[in-house]
Amino acid sequence: MSTTPDSALRKPDFPAFKAIYCVLPDDGTDKRVLIELRKRHGVIRASTWACRGIGALAQVKTKRGKLPESDLVKQLCAICTEDQADEIFDFIFWSANVDKPGRGEMWQQAVTGCTPYELPADIPDEKTGA
């Protein structure tokens, strides 16, 4: 896919977006944060996936020259506008308890382009069915 001159011209008008990543323990926090991001902040460009987390500072016994056992962790990615970034970053930090030991880490990166994304309006709520 190549960038056409038209789309290149449109880019300066495009709102600036940020990608916020967060590594979380596999205890359901990721799903809870995703739901709250949608309900409270309207952020729907977000997803999580499973990965292996290896913490070098984890207080576990390992043999010399060996790595500690990895943990199953979840990585969350949320895309939001630049205006929302401060609010969303702080929200994820506090709601996922990232300030507590062993609760993961998070970071923010600039995104140079982003497609619009909408969900169908007639999806029933997962819990209430309404």
Partner 1 sequence: MSEIIYLTDVAVINCIVDKERTDAVLLAARDVGARGAIVHTVQGWGTRERLGAWGVAVETEKDVIAFLVSSDQQDLVFDAIYQVAGLDAPGRGFMFISPVERAATYVPEAVRKQLNVNPE
Told to check if 55 binds partner 1 by CB under 8 A, we report yes
Residue 62 near residue 68, CB atoms below 8 Å = yes
Told to check if 67 binds partner 1 by CB under 8 A, we report yes
Tokens, residue 56: 């070098």
In whole angstroms, the minimum distance from the beta carbon of 79 to partner 1 comes to 14
Looking up tokens 């913490």 gives: 55
Q: Give the integer Cα–Cα distance in Å for 104 and 93.
A: 10
Cβ-based neighbour number of residue 114 at 10 Å: 16
Told to check if 47 binds partner 1 by CB under 8 A, we report no
Told to check if 93 binds partner 1 by CB under 8 A, we report yes
Which member of 12, 49, 61, 117 binds partner 1 (CB under 8 A)?
A: 49
Which member of 8, 57, 119, 130 binds partner 1 (CB under 8 A)?
A: 57
Q: Cite the DSSP H helix spans in 58-118.
A: 82-95
Which member of 32, 47, 110, 113 binds partner 1 (CB under 8 A)?
A: 110
Residue 29, SS3? helix
The DSSP H or E segment spanning 111 is strand 105-111
Which member of 44, 95, 103, 114 binds partner 1 (CB under 8 A)?
A: 103
Applying CB under 8 A, the residues found at the interface with partner 1 are 18, 23, 49, 51-57, 65-67, 70, 73, 75, 89-90, 93-94, 98-110
